[in-house]
Amino acid sequence: MRWPLLAALVLPLLCLACGHERQPAPPRGNELIVGLESAPTRLDPRLGTDQGSEYVMELILEGLLDKKPDGSQIPGLATSWEVLDEGRRYRFHLRPGARFHDGRPVTSKDVAWSYNTILDGTAKSPKKAALGPIDRVVAVDPATADFVMREPFGALFYNLTPGTGVIPDGTTPEHMEAHPIGSGPFRFVRRTTDRVELQAWDGYHGGKPPMERVVLREVPDATVRALELEKGSVQLVVNAFPPDTAALFAHRPGFKVVQSPGATYYYLGFNLEDPVVRDLRVRRAVALAVDRERIARTVWRGTARPTETLMPPGHWARDESLVPTPHDPAEAARLLEEAGYHDPDGPGPEPRLRITFKIANNDLTLLQAQAIQAMLADAGIAAELRPYEFATFYADVKRGSFQMFSLSWTGVAEPDLYRNLFHSGSIPPNGANRGRYRSAAVDRLIEEGGRRFGPVARLPFYLQLQRIVQHDLPYVSLLNRDTVAVMLDGLEGYANYPGGEMYSLRWAHWRR
């Protein structure tokens, strides 16, 4: 199997390795520049779902709850809460003295606005379905907000972290996109085509961050990102290097690499309204043709592991009993034959089936996609790769303009994420069911699992759900990826989060 992009990556990396005595330039002033694969597409937390947008939200917003590096939830804007009316009302008590970046106090009216504009459709939010059975949010008094439920919702707390953070009452999407205001550790300064600039805020309830300025800078090409890091003009890169590149920096003086188990999930998605891939036999053939062990070994160099499910290793809801899908090109070809896709020339080069495969045009995604393309060819499937700049690709995925695509979900922590991905009520614009998957059984399991409390009561529903999803294949599960951060050696206070989140930048500082 030959993957043309590999040579394009290897030669610059050899040059990087040859310069092993060269030290990176020290940071200029008290700022940190983070290198991203793609710039944030939205600055309103109700609208943004891509990773770059999430990074901005994690830094400028505060949610009712916050996250620790192990993924567990802790108080944020809410200092305490209680469950009332047998789980049909959640009451949150707000932190005294919390303020937005413009000086306004954070009140329950702001909490109500942030969520009600999603629930009532004022903001056309892809996060609406994820809020499940929340009926409305009520401002009881300035310091108390009630989430009123149509039914109990055991996954509510998952939706209260900064990714869906609190914004000021009355803020429109237009205002938030132009100049976002939050109550988090950094405030927005400016946005250009390839960067977002943030400044430490001295009114943050947790104290002013020691890093005065953070810049999120888009550097789409992995080789250029590596060279920028080498010379010190980028100082932190998280989950945005091919594994070989990260390994080179691990042995370079002046740099350090932090690797830890992650909660990032890679998958292939299908448009189930497409006349070709809506056939389960075709999707099953794709799953059988992909050698995930080989991808993990060659593309990911052991920093990712094959998975049969969205839930990360060690998670209480993960079904460890799922039977791994084998790599079986012959069985894939047999299924295609059964589906009516006959081999036109026997052992010749003509494929049984042609499909389009959309991807973002970053280097690691291209490398993985080329590997998958070659594997599919062995089963008689000609996958036409269509790489696009991320914003264009992502817009196509959200509107269902694809046959097959590849993406990842980061920070997977709550199994109610299945509601957003696969519930029939989550088809865009209400959620992220971009493949238009519909299953009455899956809808029921999502709803039953969501209305219960505690892992013991919820687990049976998610185990059954994972088995159905593995059978129906709205996604072909590929890999769970470690979190790998590469940085200048002088950066202190940074800690990996399971999904590569940027929360720890509030404590980051340069060693003096």
Q: How confident is the model at residue 10 (pLDDT cuts 50, 70, 90)?
A: very low
Q: Tens digit of pLDDT for each residue in 436-486?
A: 999 999 999 999 999 888 899 999 999 999 999 999 999 999 999 999 999
Residue 406, pLDDT > 90, answer: yes
Single pTM value for the model? 0.84
Report whether 62 contacts 78 (CB < 8 A).
Answer: no
Mean pLDDT calculated for residue range 152-175 = 89
Q: Tens digit of pLDDT for each residue in 275-291?
A: 999 999 999 999 999 99
SS3 of 174-243: the string is HHHHHCCCCCCCEEEEEECCCEEEEEECCCCCCCCCCCCEEEEEECCCHHHHHHHHHHCCCCEEECCCCH
Q: What is the pLDDT of residue 18?
A: 52
Q: Tens digit of pLDDT for each residue in 374-391?
A: 999 999 999 999 999 988
Beta bridge partners of 196: 191, 216
Residue 183, pLDDT > 90, answer: yes
Which percentage of the chain shows pLDDT scores above 70?
Answer: 95
Q: What is the mean pLDDT of the chain?
A: 92
Q: Domain map of the chain by residue range?
A: 61-170, 262-481
- Pairing verdict, β 381-388 and 353-360: parallel
Q: Tens digit of pLDDT for each residue in 325-366?
A: 999 999 999 999 999 999 998 877 899 999 999 999 888 889
The sign of the dihedral angle between the CA atoms of 67, 68, 69, 70 is negative
Residue whose entry in the numeric block shows the structure tokens 């519930």: 423
Residue 8, pLDDT > 50, answer: no
For domain 262-481, which architecture applies?
Roll (3.10)
Mean pLDDT calculated for residue range 291-317 = 94
Q: Tens digit of pLDDT for each residue in 33-42?
A: 999 999 999 9
Q: What is the pLDDT of residue 360?
A: 93
For 66, other C-beta atoms within 10 Å of its C-beta total 21
Mean pLDDT calculated for residue range 11-20 = 49
Mean pLDDT calculated for residue range 80-87 = 91
Residue 71, pLDDT > 80, answer: no
CB proximity list for 367: less than 8 A, separation 6 or greater = 3, 5, 6, 9, 242, 299
Residue 200, pLDDT > 70, answer: yes
Which 3 state secondary structure label does DSSP give 419?
Answer: helix
Mean pLDDT calculated for residue range 52-56 = 93
Please name which of 208, 209, 234 lies closest in space to residue 221, comparing C-alpha atoms. 234
Joined tokens for residue 29 = 């002033």
Residue 13, pLDDT > 70, answer: no
For 248, other C-beta atoms within 10 Å of its C-beta total 21
**Cα-to-chain-centroid distance, residue 375:** 26
- d(Cα 31, Cα 232) in Å, to the nearest integer? 12
Q: What is the pLDDT of residue 143?
A: 97
Mean pLDDT calculated for residue range 56-77 = 90
Report whether 166 contacts 114 (CB < 8 A).
Answer: yes
Joined tokens for residue 472 = 């129906």
Mean pLDDT calculated for residue range 29-58 = 92
Residue 110, pLDDT > 60, answer: yes
Residue 434 Cα distances to 42, 281, 309, 396, 430, angstroms: 19, 20, 18, 10, 10
Which percentage of the chain shows pLDDT scores above 90?
Answer: 78
CATH number of 61-170: 3.90.76.10
Q: How confident is the model at residue 2 (pLDDT cuts 50, 70, 90)?
A: very low
Q: What is the pLDDT of residue 494?
A: 96
Q: What ranges make up the beta strands (E) of 468-507? A: 475-488, 491-492
Burial class (CB in 10 A: 0-12, 13-18, 19+), 385: middle
- d(Cα 431, Cα 381) in Å, to the nearest integer? 31
Q: How confident is the model at residue 86 (pLDDT cuts 50, 70, 90)?
A: confident
Mean pLDDT calculated for residue range 187-207 = 96
Residue 17, pLDDT > 90, answer: no
